Amino acid sequence: MSDSWYYAAQGQQNGPVSDEAFAQLVSAGTIQEDTLVWREGMEQWQPLRAVVDAPRPSAAATPAEPSDPPTMSDRCVCCGRPYPRQDLVILSGRLVCELCKPEFVARIREGMPLPQSGRRRARPVNPEALVAEVRARGYTLGVSPILSRAWELYKASFWPSVAVSAIAMILIQAASMIPFIGAIVGIFVQGPILAGMYLFFLKRVREERAEVGDVFWGFNANWWRYLLTVLVMSVPMFALMILVAVPVGFGVALSAGQGGGPPDWVWWVGVPLFLLLFAGAVYLQIAVIFAVPLCADLELGPVQSVLTSFRVVNLRLGSMILLCLALGALMIAGILALLIGVFFVLPLYWYAIALAYEEAFAPRATPGTGPFGGPLAT
């Protein structure tokens, strides 16, 4: 086994360092119990506390105070954005910006897990680099593990999860039912509501502080981005419908002009085209399933979000189809339960999609490319 150690600090990979130098860093408090470390022989990066044969910090060890001159290379441990050093505060050995400070302090008070340094990507993210990273390392989507984890998260926060799903569904449906202008209002409401809802479930997946009020988060200065994302998601669907409707409509109109029922060729063409429309609609819905969370979480543009979702979903299309079929079966069961069951099944659906999103896009600890699956985008 190699005696060279690597460790993560402020979102960057450091090392290699020898056993002796590593022990000194631990003793000085530069490397803490929750610092991610790796050396040859380990399957993945792990917190120091999980490495049995690693040096242990002494009781007197304290986190090293940053003393470098202010630069824009220092990042907030929560949001991942770069800041000058003087604009960050040190809490529990981590650099935190003023915007994230209240949430970070609340996590300390409530005994919740603290975010690891560099866990989130810096924004905005380069979509080409993101797709290349995901393709290089791959990802897996086990239906059973995802549903099992989704159920555990659901049980741990049952009523808030139900409330967020119910509020989102009721608002979207109510907006679309407004007389005369419902179609337009529904479009304006759907994007921001979906963005806020995804934020809630992603926070729960990441063990961050999540509140029911997060469902309204999408009504911020970037609300138009979420609106446009939903509209761009609809373009392929409309194009597919037109491709199917034109020949079928032409055949029906022709038969009506000649009198009598539709000719046989209309049935032979129409039925296959209808099946094509159905299969294509299912595929398109699955392919763009990550578009809204990509826009809300990683601040990708509407077109970038849709294209990135297409490309990443297609890397594991079979697994995504199986997952969505399982979730679809749960939704049907909820509908059959006097419709009320939908309110209780929807949170499980959103948890599963959020978990699949994290599996695909969360930074990874891959030795040789940085502790979180590659250099963070700048």
23, pLDDT greater than 70: yes
Q: What are phi and psi of 290, to 5 degrees?
A: -95, 0
Q: Helix/strand/coil (H, E, C) string of 111-166?
A: CCCCCCCCCCCCCCCCHHHHHHHHHHHCCCCCHHHHHHHHHHHHHHCHHHHHHHHH
Residue 204 CB partners (closer than 8 Å, separation 6+): 153, 157, 161, 210, 351, 354
Quick one: pLDDT at residue 338? Answer: 64
Q: How far is residue 157's CA from residue 211's CA, in Å, rounded to a whole number?
A: 10
What is the pLDDT confidence band of residue 311, given thresholds at 50, 70 and 90? very high
Task: Say if pTM beats, i.e. exceeds, 0.75.
Answer: no
Q: How far is residue 372's CA from residue 83's CA, in Å, rounded to a whole number?
A: 20
Quick one: pLDDT at residue 15? Answer: 74
pLDDT mean over 292-300: 92
Q: Where in the chain are the domains? A: 74-123, 143-361
Residue 66 CB partners (closer than 8 Å, separation 6+): 74, 85, 90, 95
Q: How far is residue 168's CA from residue 178's CA, in Å, rounded to a whole number?
A: 16
Q: How far is residue 87's CA from residue 94's CA, in Å, rounded to a whole number?
A: 13
Mean pLDDT of the chain: 78
Quick one: pLDDT at residue 287? Answer: 94
Residue 184 corresponds to which tokens in the numbers above?
Answer: 């337009």
Beta bridge partners of 75: 82
pLDDT digits (tens, 9 = 90+) for 26-35: 877 778 877 8
Q: How far is residue 275's CA from residue 71's CA, in Å, rounded to a whole number?
A: 58
Report yes or no: 88 and 74 within 8 Å, Cβ to Cβ.
yes
